[in-house]
A and B are shown apart, each in its own frame.
Chain A
């Protein structure tokens, strides 16, 4: 299986499609590092199943993302740090 080929940013995942988190994109800016730390604490970990359950009005911001038993509202920019592999 080609790892790079089917890996997408979470914000590019189609609505209500399941995927598995592969990794979190490394961050440079301190604020983004803090964001990654919090995402990790909230359970956005490699191997976890995720899906987008809803999009904001107009199909843009924000995203409702299901991970484990929890749903979080994320902005697309926050979701872009999460790299996922969609289920075939």
Chain B
């Protein structure tokens, strides 16, 4: 009877609150489907997910998926964001209704947050999620009793089932009283203990569980977390991932390449020769196409990361690697961000938000660019093929070596940064029960990654390739009478200037020019080299021609030097932007750029001069 209650409204804007691993994201994906928007919270790189749902009566409601939090007494960035939103301290609108999502198989842990949320002054609704799994494990929950004990409405949900949100959607058509922000204070240990006693009482009254624990996780862990078997399996898993990225990714990349080649060919035959055709064929299709070919590799890597993460395996991998990583002053928590960085440093840097210790987090951000991201693959491939023509085995070994060099130097840099720091950071990492990954969430996660990448390609990379094309097409105002068109262009001018910087490490002006756009996005180094050498044809043909020219024209020292440069050099403006945003300071951005440049220059200088000395 909505009309009889004075200060009540139908909720129009709700927020999902819950512990990590309560299945909140799967539920959010079920509620909103593809109607969601991923951005960042103002000032921090904590992912902000908002979407729209339709209630049982068809009303539209905005849903905010708050970052997972064990407590409002925040110890990580994620938790701080959640606390600020629900206590009205942020610029976010205070939600009309808080849906507190709890894991039916783990109420003992999750009920505490409900009791904490109950004191906030925002109308509360409890969603007992994974209720199907609880049933399978023989855990029985007296829903009526839970509702009367908590004094707030309680519904059952199953985030991974199509009809799993029916009760929740019906309940959202019931009016709620007006939300008010309350003065929230961090509780002390006595208050927490008191709350936990209340949790214990409610739990005992509401939950009946079988005498024998049916959760198979402990048995699986005896193998997967075994000190030796566990490490062996982890190595095998990582090996399979990289094989898949390179083999399947390569086939799909070939398809994309062929598609762009066909498009370029079509334009070349249909359009008159001229500036516009040059811009479209060489600038846009050549540049963007050259970058888009990484999409499959990035998606395959993320498919594995997302699947392993939602199955509960990745935290176990972090567990196994905690000790080796602590030698470098990091913890197992840095493993997932660093693994993501092999696809791309940006999601890797974003994934550091779960690292509670600020110092460890900054260190992880600073070393993330040393993980060889997929954008480096084409440059590595080109150079290695040119270095060892017709020796696929040696080439593979060198590729593996380049990846290992990145990892080893990352650990060394972390060690240097963390040196002399005595306070060890607590680990306190949940190892959730094993579950089958939710296909819907997996697909939505992949879709998001794809869109982030495509947006980048459509904006910064497109702009750069056009600028690059313009630089080498437009003649320099100080036109020289002789030389090729490229040498007479503005790009030629810049390259000659940069040559002074790069000559000691063996880069000629062609390389210097190609590295300029490479600073912005390293994927374009190969296409830029193609442009600089005025090569024509599709990406495959350009690649083959480049390989030939590089083999013939560059000295061994130059090739090795450029390889080393690619391992370390600070490249890709988007990474810089992410670091600035993430750390909230220009200092760390410049620190990262500076140390990477110094490492790259020194490594290349050493390699070039040593190779020259040895081969002279």
Chain A contacts to B: CB under 8 angstroms: 31, 33-43, 45, 53-62, 64, 66, 68-75, 77-78
Chain B minimum-CB-distance residue to A77: B424
Stretch at the interface among B68-76, B147-155, B364-372: B68-76
**What's the Cα separation between A62 and B326 when bound, in Å?**
10
Q: Count residues of B near A (Cβ-Cβ below 8 Å).
A: 46
Please determine whether B227 and A56 come into contact, CB atoms closer than 8 angstroms. yes
Stretch at the interface among B213-221, B266-274, B378-386, B573-581: B213-221
Stretch at the interface among B36-44, B314-322, B440-448, B538-546: B314-322
**What's the Cα separation between A66 and B433 when bound, in Å?**
11
**What's the Cα separation between A39 and B193 when bound, in Å?**
11
Q: Write the nearest CB–CB distance from B188 to chain A, whole angstroms.
A: 8
Please determine whether B105 and A56 come into contact, CB atoms closer than 8 angstroms. no
Please determine whether B227 and A78 come into contact, CB atoms closer than 8 angstroms. no
Interface SS of chain A: mixed
Chain A minimum-CB-distance residue to B312: A71
**What's the Cα separation between A40 and B189 when bound, in Å?**
8
Q: For the complex, is B112 an interface residue (Cβ under 8 Å from A)?
A: yes
Q: Interface centre among B188, B192, B228, by most A CB within 10 Å?
A: B192
Chain B, 58-101, CB within 8 A of any chain A CB: 70-71, 73, 75
Chain A minimum-CB-distance residue to B106: A69
Q: Write the nearest CB–CB distance from B364 to chain A, whole angstroms.
A: 17
Q: With A40-B192, A54-B225 known to touch, is A71 a contact of B427 (CB < 8 Å)?
A: no
Please determine whether A70 and B109 come into contact, CB atoms closer than 8 angstroms. yes
Q: List 9 A-B contacts (CB under 8 A).
A: A37-B189, A41-B70, A43-B196, A61-B323, A68-B108, A69-B433, A72-B431, A73-B431, A74-B426
Q: For the complex, is B7 an interface residue (Cβ under 8 Å from A)?
A: no
Q: Interface centre among B70, B222, B315, B322, by most A CB within 10 Å?
A: B322
Q: Write the nearest CB–CB distance from B377 to chain A, whole angstroms.
A: 31
Nearest 3 Cβ contacts at the A-B interface: A54-B225, A68-B108, A71-B431
Chain A minimum-CB-distance residue to B228: A57
Please determine whether A43 and B109 come into contact, CB atoms closer than 8 angstroms. yes
Chain A minimum-CB-distance residue to B188: A37
In-complex Cβ contact of A71 among B112, B423, B430 (8 A): B430
Please determine whether A41 and B429 come into contact, CB atoms closer than 8 angstroms. no
